[in-house]
Amino acid sequence: MQISSRFTLAVHIFACIEVFKDEYKVTSDFLAGSTNVNPVIVRKILGQLKAAGLVEVARGSGGAAIPKPLNEISFLDIYNAVECIGNGELFHFHENPNENCPVGKNIHAVLDDRLARVQKAMEDELSSITLEDVIGDARKLI
């Protein structure tokens, strides 16, 4: 299992917006230069973050901004904004296990609760980390 790079790209984008906000107009082209990712992908991620209310984006070359305090934006907020998980479920269960097989007919009973616990643990950990934590650490290294 691997979470897509959209999540880490989104965190990178937030760090750039915050670190460079007073020096540069932080546009998708600017962000693409830092992330080394196509500006189209950056714009898609910015669109997802905007839809979630986590960034403001001025049309044209207006740039991006973070509309609320960094300590109010958690990794879970970012994850939920950019990762496309169906029905809010981290694990996608394979379709139609064989009901005639003793394992197949019972696999949901065996795994569902465990997978829900794993997802809850991940969400709890993502909730405990904020942009303030990450950007504070990044500033120490810059």
CATH code of 81's domain: 1.10.10.10
Which of 53, 33, 46 is CA-nearest to residue 6?
Answer: 46
Taking the chain (142 residues) in runs of 10, the rounded mean pLDDT of each run is: 81 96 92 94 96 90 90 96 75 82 91 91 95 94 87
Phi and psi angles of residue 140, each rounded to the nearest 5 degrees, phi first: -65, -25
Residue in this structure with the two tokens 């465990």, named with its chain if needed: 114
Distance, CA of 142 to CA of 132 (rounded, Å): 15
27 C-beta neighbours (distance < 10 Å), count: 20
User: What pLDDT was estimated at residue 120?
Assistant: 93
pLDDT at 93: 74
Output DSSP code: residue 93. P
C-alpha R_g of the chain: 19
DSSP label at 63?
E
Q: What angle do CA 129, 132, 135 make, to 5 degrees?
A: 105
Query: What would the pLDDT profile of 51-82 be if each residue is shown by its tens digit?
Result: 999 999 987 767 899 999 999 999 999 999 99
Residue 73: name the closest of 32, 14, 137 by CA. Answer: 14
Q: What is the pTM of this model?
A: 0.85
Both tokens of 53, joined, read 């209310």
> Residue 96: its pLDDT value, please?
83
What's the domain range around 132?
A: 5-141
Split into its structural domains, the chain has a count of 1
